[in-house]
Amino acid sequence: MWPLTVPPPPLLLLLLCSGLAGQTLFQSPEEGWQLYTSAQAPDGKCICTAVIPAQSTCSRDGRSRELRQLMEKVQNVSQSMEVLELRTYRDLQYVRGMETLMRSLDARLRAADGSLSAKSFQELKDRMTELLPLSSVLEQYKADTRTIVRLREEVRNLSSSLAAIQEEMGAYGYEDLQQRVMALEARLHACAQKLGCGKLTGVSNPITVRAMGSRFGSWMTDTMAPSADSRVWYMDGYYKGRRVLEFRTLGDFIKGQNFIQHLLPQPWAGTGHVVYNGSLFYNKYQSNVVVKYHFRSRSVLVQRSLPGAGYNNTFPYSWGGFSDMDFMVDESGLWAVYTTNQNAGNIVVSRLDPHTLEVMRSWDTGYPKRSAGEAFMICGVLYVTNSHLAGAKVYFAYFTNTSSYEYTDVPFHNQYSHISMLDYNPRERALYTWNNGHQVLYNVTLFHVISTSGDP
């Protein structure tokens, strides 16, 4: 391992990277790097579980803490000097006024030449009274002089300490080093974002966002939108629906406010819709047609039949609901999950061109679709649950990059006992589900390798 202020040597850092939905929805900006567990693999790789913040300072380095303490002392000294300067200026103005008064009194005393009337004596007495505060001002001057001596000594000590730390840290100044560390952490975070692909090893406990609508439906965010765009789309029901609600933010969705309505020109079937790069992709009711509806122009950009795909409850998931065709988006693009007669009811995965909706490539997974509760894509891998009811788990994984599969056993807490929609959002690395009228999120944990030896 290495201190955070020193760039690591080139190596492979093996990480168990938790899903970032928590950072998106329930971010804690004040947290720094967190290392939960670590171990050494036989081949020398460092295996650890870590959460990497978007950006942090080297707050855990002893030298930086000492530097911040010294900087705070310098700031305190600076503030003390400012107060002293203001007070000295005020007192100086007072002393100059008293000097004028004393000269006036001296002139009158010399002019009196030993003889003063009662009136003149009283006037001089009143003037002398005005000079009484001068003694306390002079005492303050003495105290301020001692303060200046103390501050001068403190500044001298601070300068020596800063010089010693600068010499210890090397040729770079503290600010330069801090900027370099922040740039490194930003690069590592961006690398983790880009190379976030890996094998699914865990699904978190459910996070219920809202309870709204009927037993079946779908809700989603745009997987290609920038992080500042947090619009939520909501589609209640699983057939013949045409109304899509667009909420401005997740907070508005939770409160049920600030939304607009889109009326689709053609009704949908199932709940396997997805929003991708400003458009809604869905299955046209009673057909195997894929429709691409553009929200901004409120128009259908393209529609195309999916060759041989079953529809109208021919090959649905185990819960039915016209779920013959399921559209998904992961880190690599747009997918369609469906079944054909030629594949004997087994799940087919196809990469789609998002512009033309043409099938780019297809895979026969060999897994019967009617035995699947739901499915989702992560990093080109199709994950299938064995049920839509309580007790479900992620049971099957098909790897499109190797055209191979394996059976898995990833627990999946089905809190409300009836899932009718399950989709992965690569932007937030979270699973969106519609569970018996509840809109629910799950974080995911992926196992993958990140190289720190070069650019991501």
Is residue 340 in some structural domain? yes
Region 308-315: mean pLDDT is 95
Among 18-32, 71-85, 371-385, the range of highest mean pLDDT? 371-385
Question: Are 456 and 195 spatial neighbours (Cβ–Cβ below 8 Å)?
Answer: yes
316 and 230 in a common domain = yes
Region 172-188: mean pLDDT is 58
Is residue 181 in some structural domain? no
Region 375-390: mean pLDDT is 94
Tell me if residue 336 falls in helix, strand or coil.
Answer: strand
Task: Please name the amino acid found at residue 164.
Answer: A
298 and 261 in a common domain = yes
pLDDT above 90 for 366:
yes
Name the pLDDT band for 453 (thresholds 50, 70, 90): very low
255 and 159 in a common domain = no
Q: How many domains does the chain have?
A: 2
Lowest mean pLDDT among 84-93, 300-309, 335-344: 84-93
Is residue 229 in some structural domain? yes
205 and 158 in a common domain = no
- In this structure, what are the phi and psi dihedrals at residue 280, rounded to the nearest 5 degrees? -100, 130
Write down the pLDDT at residue 120.
72
The DSSP code for 385 is E
211 and 147 in a common domain = no
pLDDT above 80 for 215:
yes
Write down the pLDDT at residue 108.
72
Q: Please, what is the end-to-end C-alpha distance for the chain in angstroms?
A: 21
More confident residue, 455 or 67: 67
pLDDT in tens, 271-302: 999 999 999 999 999 999 999 999 999 999 99
158 and 212 in a common domain = no
Percent over 70 (pLDDT), the chain: 64
Whole-number mean pLDDT of the chain? 78
Write down the pLDDT at residue 187.
54
Is residue 246 in some structural domain? yes
pLDDT above 80 for 57:
no
142 and 89 in a common domain = yes
Write down the pLDDT at residue 104.
75
More confident residue, 172 or 21: 172
More confident residue, 198 or 134: 198
Write down the pLDDT at residue 3.
34
Is residue 424 in some structural domain? yes
211 and 69 in a common domain = no
Handedness of CA 318, 341, 284, 380 (dihedral sign): positive
155 and 275 in a common domain = no
215 and 131 in a common domain = no
Q: Is 72 exposed, middle or buried (0-12, 13-18, 19+ CB in 10 A)?
A: exposed
pLDDT above 90 for 39:
no
The DSSP code for 13 is E
Name the pLDDT band for 446 (thresholds 50, 70, 90): confident
Q: How far is CA 338 from the centre of its chain?
A: 34
Helices and strands in the chain, H and E counts: 6, 24
Q: What is the largest CA-CA distance in the chain?
A: 132
301 and 209 in a common domain = yes
**How many whole angstroms separate alpha carbon 260 and alpha carbon 263?**
10
279 and 149 in a common domain = no
pLDDT above 80 for 51:
no
pLDDT above 50 for 38:
no
Distances (CA, A) of 296 to 137, 246, 278, 291: 73, 11, 7, 15
Write down the pLDDT at residue 150.
73
Write down the pLDDT at residue 179.
65
Write down the pLDDT at residue 443.
92
Is residue 45 in some structural domain? no
Is residue 41 in some structural domain? no
CATH number for the domain harbouring residue 212: 2.120.10.30
Domain coverage including residue 102: 65-109+124-168
Is residue 137 in some structural domain? yes
Write down the pLDDT at residue 22.
34
